[in-house]
Structure 1
Amino acid sequence: MKLILDFDTGIDDAMAIALALGEEDAEVIGITSVFGNAEVDKCVHNASAVLKLLDREDIPVFRGASHKLGASEDYIQETASGIFHGLNGLGNIELPAGNNISDQDAIDFIIESANKYGEELVLVTTGPLTNVALAIQKDLPAMQKVKGIVSMGGALTVPGNVSPFAEANFWKDSEANNIVFDSGLPIKVIGLDVTLRTLITDTDIAPWLEMSEAAEVFHEIVTYYFKAYANSYEDLTGCALHDPLAVSVALKSDWVTGETFRIKSLYGEQEGRLVQDQAALNRNEEPNVFVALGVDAEGYNKHFLDTIVKAF
């Protein structure tokens, strides 16, 4: 399966990149960067740096949206993202970028790839949906050719992580969420309902210290993430595999179970909250979004740990 990773590369995005490179059935054709865990230029740098670290500079990185739809100023990292991902997005570990940052715009690359690969291509998003929404607005017929979108975002049946209602990715651009949801493209939402059940601990990654330089660097980055979780969640041990789970579901859907709903993303005081679109249901409009509600956490965690090391 050909994948475009539409990422706001922070720590769990970095793990998701490595996982995708370790997945035997995945061919990553490019990483399109979007604002989110940090400013977009930092996310571009981080994606390139992770690929360089893993000796995969053959994969190009593209710069995408720097702010949400309708905004006049570029996004600046907010405090919560800095706490979880560090000011640079990678736990304040400084890594050099590779020679794989493309001059082509991310939205144009997405559209070009949709036309070229069609049903062979899945988009995996782990940040705001802004790039995908812009691609849909620019060329919906092209985007309708792809197999689908798997998006890490949202919280339907559990509390959010940036407000009582909203998850961080979907909170950052509610307008983009609704453009994607209403596009008719097949979309699977992998949200906090399932990702917070996929936890790894420092014991799980201890073997990385004995593997390679890349594995050691990843150990250092993920250890930062563990500390951020420990300071923020009293009831969780370790860290959640938010973004890696989305990558794996793109390749093997039965890691999760769920239901298809007619979903919309709210604005204002409940920005980014996912709710059933009752008005659309009253108009007999079809359900539009698959939402993951269950996960084989034990099986998935083992798969993650067995697979990511193949990239090291």
Structure 2
Amino acid sequence: MSAPRRVWIDTDPAITAGNGEVDDAFALIQALRSPELEIVGISAVFGNTDIDHTYAMALEIVTRAGRGDVPVYRGCGIAGDRSPNAATRALAAALTDAPLTILALGPLTTIAATLGQPDAKRENVEEIVFVGGRREGLEFRATPTQQNQFGDMNFECDTAAASALLALDIPITLAGWEVCAEMWLTPNDLDRLRDEGDPCAQWLATSARAWQSDWQREFGAPGFTPFDTLAVGWLLMPEAFETHKWPSEIRHDGKRPLFVVDPACDGPEVTYLRAVNNDIFHDDLMTRLLPG
């Protein structure tokens, strides 16, 4: 068996902030329960909610998952912040030890602040897997009846950070809306986590119920999309994904900033996750969320 892959996770969990977005929590527990990954650190960043909440929730999730051995650090709290903090220092130190992969599940602020330092060991970044980006012309709608499309929030929260990282010639993989939107967790899946899971899985199910109901009510969706779990899945089972290496660019369409990939773009090449084998991925995710 090969050695576990060293991974740093940067995340903005909001699962218990009122009716907060739940996918970061699912992805964190998925990763923490994957022996193929050595989670060397987790940093909380602003995004789905403020930094006070994301940091507290990251600590809670690690505790609930029974992984108190994984350190959690407080990262950047506002867009554009490039000043040192506990998370940037810890990530920089982890990079001096050995190569690692960075899972970017939230805005790229803390990662840009770390890798933008003159002495950063950027050559030790094997890959940044970012939940963001789109193909040319792609709209973010959960169902055809959704009137107002979603924003590319992780990117839009700090577009300058994305631009800075693209300029560093580091391998970047985009797990954007297109691949994530193929995957659903349904009420039946939450029932299974509740009925068959340990206390951590049961907490996930209970906490996600309102979020799932909102998607069903507002969009007519069969469940909700656990976006960030696709980024973790890419590290665990890349053979389940259809990928393309395409050039990218960051621009504005008059309404919003866009992080676009297309053969016609003229910027740095990235790996774009376009599709996933839903059955394989879904079964693997549920198995990891249900220990035993």
TM-score scaled by length of structure 1: 0.80
Whether 1:254 aligns to 2:239 is yes
Evaluate the alpha carbon distance shift between residue 202 and residue 279 of structure 1 in structure 2; reply closer, same or farther with a 3 A threshold.
closer
**Aligned position for 1:219:** 205
**Aligned position for 2:115:** 136
- 1:111/1:139 contact within 8 Å kept: no
The one-letter amino acid of 1:237's match is P
**Aligned position for 1:49:** 60
Shift of 1:184: 0.6
Shift of 1:116: 0.8
Superposed, 1:226-265 pairs within 5 Å as 226-234=212-220, 236-265=221-250
- 2:249/2:265 contact within 8 Å kept: no
Shift of 1:114: 1.1
Shift of 1:254: 2.3
**Aligned position for 1:3:** 7
Superposed, 1:190-229 pairs within 5 Å as 190-210=175-195, 211-229=197-215
Q: How many residues in Structure 1 have an aligned counterpart in Structure 2? A: 273
The one-letter amino acid of 2:13's match is T
Evaluate the alpha carbon distance shift between residue 216 and residue 276 of structure 1 in structure 2; reply closer, same or farther with a 3 A threshold.
closer
Shift of 1:294: 1.5
Gaps of 5+ in 1: 72-102
CA distance in 2, matches of 1:167, 1:122: 22
The one-letter amino acid of 1:112's match is A
The one-letter amino acid of 2:127's match is G
Structure 2 SS opposite 1:238: coil
CA distance in 2, matches of 1:266, 1:56: 40
Evaluate the alpha carbon distance shift between residue 140 and residue 202 of structure 1 in structure 2; reply closer, same or farther with a 3 A threshold.
farther
Structure 2 SS opposite 1:115: helix
Share of identical aligned residues, percent? 22
Greater mean deviation of Cα atoms: 260-269 or 10-19: 260-269
Shift of 1:264: 2.0
Greater mean deviation of Cα atoms: 168-177 or 245-254: 245-254
- 2:133/2:261 contact within 8 Å kept: no
The one-letter amino acid of 1:233's match is F
Evaluate the alpha carbon distance shift between residue 268 and residue 69 of structure 1 in structure 2; reply closer, same or farther with a 3 A threshold.
farther
**Aligned position for 1:180:** 165
CA distance in 1, matches of 2:53, 2:252: 27
The one-letter amino acid of 1:22's match is R
Evaluate the alpha carbon distance shift between residue 261 and residue 279 of structure 1 in structure 2; reply closer, same or farther with a 3 A threshold.
closer
Whether 1:292 aligns to 2:278 is no
Whether 1:159 aligns to 2:126 is no
CA distance in 2, matches of 1:112, 1:232: 44
**Aligned position for 1:90:** none
